[in-house]
Amino acid sequence: MKKRLQTILAHAGVSSRRGAEELINSGRVKVNGRAVREKGFRVDPREQVISVDGRVLRLEEKHYYLFNKPGNVISTASDTHGRKKVTDYFRGIRARLYPVGRLDKDTTGAMLVTNDGELAHRLTHPSFEVDKEYRVTADKRLRPGALRRLREGVIIDGKKTSPCEVKFVRKQAEGFLYSVIIHEGRKRQVRRMFEAGGSGVLRLKRVRYAGLSLGRLKEGEYRELTEREMGVLSRSVKGKLADKGI
């Protein structure tokens, strides 16, 4: 698949996207031996040779997909029990993909699926505090005190959860709908938070992960990230690095 040359250079770690544009403008980047100065020039790295200052770029094509995980699907790349896995939906893609930002088997919604190990590490490491937004259908409406405690943090496994956003959305025929935004990723965290508040979770769906929203993507479907979305991810990670002085 053809992608913008500056995007390929940035993903390969040659430079930032702006720096890649400067390299291209100065004629230091060649495709199949020919200098390319065209803005937005698209290249298929599987079929064309890219070089920078005479050095051939050796790279594995990176894949980035947003996936809407159905229920009863596990968020692993392998399983010894024959259960349905996220990666089963990507069998037609020739790359070693793995899911980022795992969801438990019964939770549905937004996941990033990629072969970019560095990005995956940064997005899942607790210190980067990536936002995750959920729609929670609860069997009981949270009392004001319980709602306040969830926002401020509750004790799970002896440790207090970080402050988060919890908003009541509306009453539904099947329960009470809440919007929850957290930046932690502890095991079954949202379900256990609501249990601590005296309410059970009937349905849980992640609608946004690291700035990536499901939109009209149906369960079991996936799509490639747009360049705008890749920019959102890149800025998010770089912003966290800057905040930590890295």
Whole-number Cα distances in Å, 215 to 39, 161, 238 = 30, 28, 25
| Closest among 35, 214, 229 to 119, alpha carbons compared | 229
Q: Which amino acid is at 229?
A: E
Token pair, residue 144, equals 């004001």
Let me know if 104 is a catalytic residue. yes
| Closest among 194, 154, 153, 163 to 177, alpha carbons compared | 194
């995007």: which residue's tokens?
Answer: 7
Q: What is the CA radius of gyration of the chain?
A: 21
Contacts with 215 (C-beta within 8 Å, 6 or more apart), sequence order: none
Q: Which amino acid is at 180?
A: V
The one catalytic residue among 44, 53, 104, 243: 104
Q: What is the rounded distance in angstroms from the CA atom of residue 130 to the CA atom of residue 212? A: 11
Residues assigned a catalytic role: 104
